[in-house]
């Protein structure tokens, strides 16, 4: 067989749209690619017997730069074993072939990053942003109380539910997670050095300097994410993660001094107090999540916002959700209109073909 033929045969064995995967008496059919990343791929799959739709996350057996799926599954199973059913996707199946590992889990909607970029001005309304801040803080607290750090908190790692669960935020992707409590519930000591993990724009200052992370650092990343949800962007969003990571670190440090107003100028004044709380935490200290959450509630009360108002994606007849389903991980605005038009034409064609199929 030629080298091209061998490559084609190998590619055919990897997960792809149209593939059927049999495991433990079930058959899953992959029907759509949802996300492609450096460590794994996510597909939409259907149970051929029940016709229910699920998410299928896969990872190559060989050649993966950093295997993360096993850890991702382990953390979710720990959470699931504790009876926690809200805010974390449920796992239904997991297995491996000779070529890849996979996990079948609850299908959720678009992530918060795609939702934000699908809005006019790429910015949530304030009440939607604040409620997202509160829910994501709850998820981080739950993870921490299980004894785990995330170390990669960012908007793309949180997604909304589907249908009547569109108001529930789910926490995703635990491939960079690390257990910080030992079997006796004692906080492990920090290592002398640690690699920079996660996404540089949201990474805590400690990570920039190669220091081990703690709950405090997860909350620092959470705070940067919240700034982006509320203001629409971070002051350093335009900087390149690979070439300007040191400058991004300097910006974060500057924001604790003369640049504090510039970082917080588009946020409620209570965010200054939240940052003080986070920065004041010690390495081993458990954050007072309720006190931080109370600052978010304080904003809602002070500005007389309706905490029960629908989320931004629940008031536009599904247009934001439709756009978010097609927007790329980095926006891909030049392709978005084309993808939306193609999807709308297909739906119109399907309706037309259904309409003329008349039974007399």
Residues taking part in catalysis: 152
Q: How far is CA 328 from the centre of its chain?
A: 14
Is residue 142 within 8 A of residue 132, CB to CB? The reply is no
- The angle at the Cα of 204, spanning 199 to 210, to the nearest 5 degrees, equals 90
Q: Going by DSSP bridges, is the β-strand pair 178-179/148-149 parallel, antiparallel, or unpaired?
A: antiparallel
Are 30 and 43 a contacting pair, CB within 8 Å?
A: yes
Max alpha carbon distance in the chain (Å)? 78
Instruction: Report the sign of the C-alpha dihedral through residues 74, 76, 79, 82, in that order.
Output: negative
By the 10 Å C-beta count (0-12 exposed, 13-18 middle, 19+ buried), 317 is classed as: exposed
Contact 230, 129 (CB under 8 A): yes
């Amino acid at each position: 067989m030629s080298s091209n033929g061998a490559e084609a045969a190998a590619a055919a064995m990897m997960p792809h749209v149209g593939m059927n995967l049999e495991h433990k008496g079930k058959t899953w059919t992959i029907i759509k690619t949802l996300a492609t990343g450096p460590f794994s791929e996510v597909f939409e799959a259907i149970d051929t017997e029940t016709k229910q739709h699920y998410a299928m996350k896969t990872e190559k057996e060989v050649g993966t730069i950093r295997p993360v799926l096993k850890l991702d599954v382990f953390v979710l199973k720990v959470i699931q074993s504790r009876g926690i059913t809200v805010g974390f996707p449920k796992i239904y199946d997991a297995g491996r072939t000779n070529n890849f590992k996979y996990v079948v889990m609850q299908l959720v909607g678009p992530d918060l990053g795609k939702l934000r970029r699908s809005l006019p001005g790429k910015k949530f309304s304030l009440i939607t942003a604040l409620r997202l801040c509160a829910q994501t803080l709850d998820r981080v607290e739950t993870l921490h109380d299980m004894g785990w750090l995330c170390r990669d908190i960012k908007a793309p790692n949180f997604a909304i539910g589907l249908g009547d669960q569109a108001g529930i935020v789910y926490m995703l992707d635990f491939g960079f997670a690390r257990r910080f409590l030992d079997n006796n519930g004692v906080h492990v000591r920090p290592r002398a050095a640690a690699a920079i993990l996660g996404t540089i724009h949201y990474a805590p200052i400690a990570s920039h300097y190669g220091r081990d992370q703690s709950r405090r650092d997860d909350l620092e990343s959470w705070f940067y994410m919240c700034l982006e949800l509320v203001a629409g962007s971070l002051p350093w969003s335009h900087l390149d993660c690979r070439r300007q990571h040191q400058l991004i670190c300097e910006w974060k440090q500057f924001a604790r001094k003369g640049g504090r107003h510039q970082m917080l100028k588009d946020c409620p004044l209570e965010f200054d107090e939240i940052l003080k709380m986070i920065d004041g935490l010690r390495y081993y200290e458990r954050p007072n999540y309720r006190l931080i959450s109370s600052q978010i509630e304080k904003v809602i009360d002070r500005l007389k916002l309706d905490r029960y108002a629908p989320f931004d994606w629940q008031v536009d007849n599904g247009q934001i959700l439709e756009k978010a389903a097609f927007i790329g991980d980095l926006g891909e605005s030049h392709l978005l209109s084309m993808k939306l038009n193609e999807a709308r034409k297909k739906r119109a064609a399907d309706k037309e073909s259904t309409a003329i199929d008349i039974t007399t």
